[in-house]
Amino acid sequence: VSFGYTDVAVAEKTTKVGEVFRSVAAKYDLMNDAMSGGMHRLWKDRFVRRVKPRAGETILDMAGGTGDIAFRLSRSGAQVTVADINGAMLEVGMERAVKRAIPGLVWAEENAETLSFGDARFDAYTIAFGIRNVTHIDRALAEAHRVLKRGGRFFCLEFSTTVWPGFADVYDAYSHRMVPKLGKLLANDEDSYRYLIESIRRFPDMPRFAGMIEQAGFVRVTAEPILGGLVAIHSGWKI
Ligand code: SAM
């Protein structure tokens, strides 16, 4: 065991992410609406249209949190497993599924970097607003590749970097000033939202992230920008 600077920083990130999502779980859905002006719902609808789930398929919704993507996927009749590292987020999700009478979802506490599922289990893997929180993104991508069947599809919805210059400035000002304030006002939790904004700023841009997906073994990797790349859908195939 070594306690060099990097190990400490890495352990801190995992702990910090755990604290953040335990802290925001109860207010998570309200905050998503408040911060994105409801737009996250449209992005998620568009994402699931890209996935094109089909009845009978098995889909792993990684970092599935409170179930937003899984609920949309399961309308197709696909068998969806919602996996997340954080039990508090999954509990909120399970309550929501009961209230909305959405049956058939499997809920699993899992770290995206070290999945307990066997090889080649799923037809599709989705991860929405989750991968930037993962400490070792390369390990999560390698695990996604491992658990997918041949012919399986990988889809990621994540904040990225908008290439619309004026918009980038407006967004920067909004996210750094307003989002922590909204976090304080609505969830009494300024720090967690400051962390979330910081993690968006640090995440690789579209071409770099596409390169990481290719490195993990995926082919025909594409990046589809939304709002100039403020948000992006990346996809790839396992062959
Ligand atoms: N996918 C949901 C959505 O779009 O509403 C939830 C997104 S939420 C912003 C991010 C989620 O990633 C949290 O529920 C958090 O617990 C989860 N997460 C963070 N690190 C993780 C990891 N290493 N493995 C699995 N889940 C992780």
ipTM summary value: 0.99
**What is the side-by-side strand order in the sheet with 79-84?**
106-109, 79-84, 58-62, 122-128, 148-159, 231-237, 219-226
* pLDDT of the residue at 25: 81
Domain map of the chain by residue range? 5-27+36-163+204-237
Q: Which portions of the chain are predicted below pLDDT 50?
A: 1-7
- Per-residue model confidence (pLDDT) at position 99: 95
- Supply the pLDDT for residue 191: 87
Q: What is the pLDDT of residue 2?
A: 32
- If one residue of 21, 36, 113, 126 were mutated to test the ligand 1 pocket, choosing by the most ligand atoms within 8 A of its CB, it would be 21
Residue ranges for the known binding site are: 66, 84, 111-112
Residue 9's pLDDT is: 64
One CATH from 3.40.50.970, 3.40.50.300, 3.40.50.150, 3.40.50.10110 for 5-27+36-163+204-237: 3.40.50.150
The residue nearest atom 5 of ligand 1, judged by CA position, is 68
Ramachandran category for residue 104: left, alpha or beta (phi over 0 → left; psi -120 to 50 → alpha): left
Q: What is the pLDDT of residue 156?
A: 98
Distance between Cα 83 and ligand 1 center (Å): 9
pLDDT digits (tens, 9 = 90+) for 186-238: 888 888 888 888 888 889 999 999 999 999 999 999 999 999 999 999 999 99
